[in-house]
Amino acid sequence: MISIVGVFITSINLYSMMTNEFTTNISIENGIVPSPVTSNSTHKVNSTSTSFIITPLPSNMALIHVGKTAGSTLSKNLRHGCYMFVPHPCRGSEDKNFGTKGGPGEESRISQLTKGYYHNYHQAPINVNSSVDEHEHDGYIISSRNPLNRVVSAFHYVHPENVAFTSTNRAKFLEGNKGKQNTFVEKFNEFFECFPTINALAHASVSSSDEDKDDNITTNTTECDSIGRFILSGGDDNTMKNILLNHFAFNYKYYASGLLAADRSRIFVLRQEHLVTDWINFNIRLGGEPHELSGTTNSFDKDKLAVKLPPGGLSKEEKRILCALLKEDIQVYLGIIDEADNLTEEEKEESRKEIRDDCN
């Protein structure tokens, strides 16, 4: 059994909407499911019914596209699904139909009410030290996914043996800067020399003892342990995390910590695991029609990936380890799920259970 240094047994607490406190404790062993970070926001739906209308109705929402959470698909369904530093509505959007499945019909209610978009190299959408919201957004839609699955997806997406299929821009950057002592490339290579597989990242990030090593783990475990923990901590724009490993840096902590801390922020969530139903229900709950997403963005053939999850996936122990290393990001993720004005309590519990199932 692998021991997790510095990680203790803790509990997940389910949010009590009536008392604004945490109740039901569910403890786990060798892993960690933390209590959610919560907001001071006074806007609450607290509905157990699938049929309700969100009030007050937002009129200037923004999509926060967290990497590897189907944010690209969502952005293609929004008239304003482009960066804030370019003119809005997005270029060419006047020629597009944002109705059901991109076909005939009135523009979806979500698209009508969403006027902003934030993703990766963009500043976090809200400065909690500021008394005003720069763009005066009255709601933030956060594209979301179980943090464990998001990190696994991000790891394989940027893996040097996969980028030729997944990310041609990264592949070109790596090739164009080969042998040029580029800091970003050097840090990128250092990370994947330490962790050639996601399984190695889990194991080598928690133990440096000889008995825990295997053929996929570098012998320089002390240094790699530090690198693994640092990358998985995310939440900042450090050189090692930026450009090539940016999906690790721009995580829930980076984007949503400020939103949860600001009492003026309203949060909505579209979950990748339930994307089709979340999109339809959100449109209805905004007082619109049950529009459907217009397909997905161009994707890569996962069968062509040179490095991917083994047939059995991550072991239960590896999941618990990664959950422990992602403790802070899971806290923020659970916080935004709890604060999502567009989700019912049953829908929120679905997402909490997915975390418990992986991290217990």
Q: What is the DSSP string of 178-227?
A: TTTT-HHHHHHHHHHHH-SSHHHHHHHTT---GGG--TTS-S-HHHHHHH
The crossing angle, in degrees rounded to 10, of helices 327-339 and 316-325 is: 80
Look at residue 295 in the predicted model and tell me its pLDDT.
64
Look at residue 11 in the predicted model and tell me its pLDDT.
30
Q: Which residue is it, tokens 């806290």?
A: 331
Q: At residue 139, what are phi and psi to the nearest 5 degrees?
A: 180, 150
Residue 187: CA atoms inside 13 Å, Cβ hemisphere, count?
16
Name which residue leads in pLDDT, 311 or 74.
74
Look at residue 5 in the predicted model and tell me its pLDDT.
30
pLDDT classification of 277: cutoffs 50, 70, 90: very high
Mean per-residue pLDDT, 226-244 = 76
Q: Which residue is it, tokens 């991917």?
A: 308
Q: How far apart are CA 104 and CA 95, in angstroms?
A: 13
Look at residue 199 in the predicted model and tell me its pLDDT.
92
Look at residue 168 in the predicted model and tell me its pLDDT.
87
Mean per-residue pLDDT, 237-243 = 65
Look at residue 357 in the predicted model and tell me its pLDDT.
96
Look at residue 342 in the predicted model and tell me its pLDDT.
97
Mean per-residue pLDDT, 258-269 = 87
Q: What is the pLDDT of residues 128-178, one digit of tens each?
A: 556 566 667 999 999 999 999 999 999 999 999 998 888 888 889 888 988
Look at residue 269 in the predicted model and tell me its pLDDT.
98
Per-residue pLDDT for 275 more than 90?
yes
Mean pLDDT of the chain: 79
Contact 327, 335 (CB under 8 A): no
Look at residue 208 in the predicted model and tell me its pLDDT.
42
Note the Cα 229 to chain centre separation in Å: 18
Look at residue 13 in the predicted model and tell me its pLDDT.
34
Look at residue 239 in the predicted model and tell me its pLDDT.
61
- Name 271's bridge partners: 144
Contact 109, 283 (CB under 8 A): yes
- C-alpha torsion 38→41→42→46, nearest 10: -50
Per-residue pLDDT for 120 more than 90?
no
The b/e string for 289-301 (b: 16+ C-beta within 10 A; e otherwise) is bebbbbeeeeeee
Q: What is the pLDDT of residues 298-354, one digit of tens each?
A: 565 666 778 888 778 899 999 999 999 999 999 999 999 999 999 999 999 999 999
Residue 76 exposed, middle or buried by CB count within 10 Å (0-12, 13-18, 19+) = middle
Contact 345, 47 (CB under 8 A): yes
Per-residue pLDDT for 268 more than 50?
yes
Q: At residue 248, what are phi and psi to the nearest 5 degrees?
A: -80, -40
Q: What is the pLDDT of residues 181-223, one digit of tens each?
A: 888 888 899 999 999 999 999 886 665 434 444 444 444 557 8
Look at residue 144 in the predicted model and tell me its pLDDT.
98
SS3 45: coil
Look at residue 237 in the predicted model and tell me its pLDDT.
59
Q: At residue 347, what are phi and psi to the nearest 5 degrees?
A: -70, -40
Mean per-residue pLDDT, 257-284 = 92
The crossing angle, in degrees rounded to 10, of helices 316-325 and 147-158 is: 90
Percentages (nearest 5) of helix, strand, coil residues in the chain? 40, 10, 50
Per-residue pLDDT for 296 more than 60?
no
Contact 270, 84 (CB under 8 A): no
Name which residue leads in pLDDT, 354 or 95.
354
pLDDT classification of 102: cutoffs 50, 70, 90: low
Contact 245, 158 (CB under 8 A): yes
Look at residue 301 in the predicted model and tell me its pLDDT.
63
Per-residue pLDDT for 276 more than 90?
yes
Q: What is the pLDDT of residues 11-69, one digit of tens each?
A: 333 222 222 332 223 233 344 455 666 555 545 544 556 679 999 999 999 999 999 99
Look at residue 294 in the predicted model and tell me its pLDDT.
81
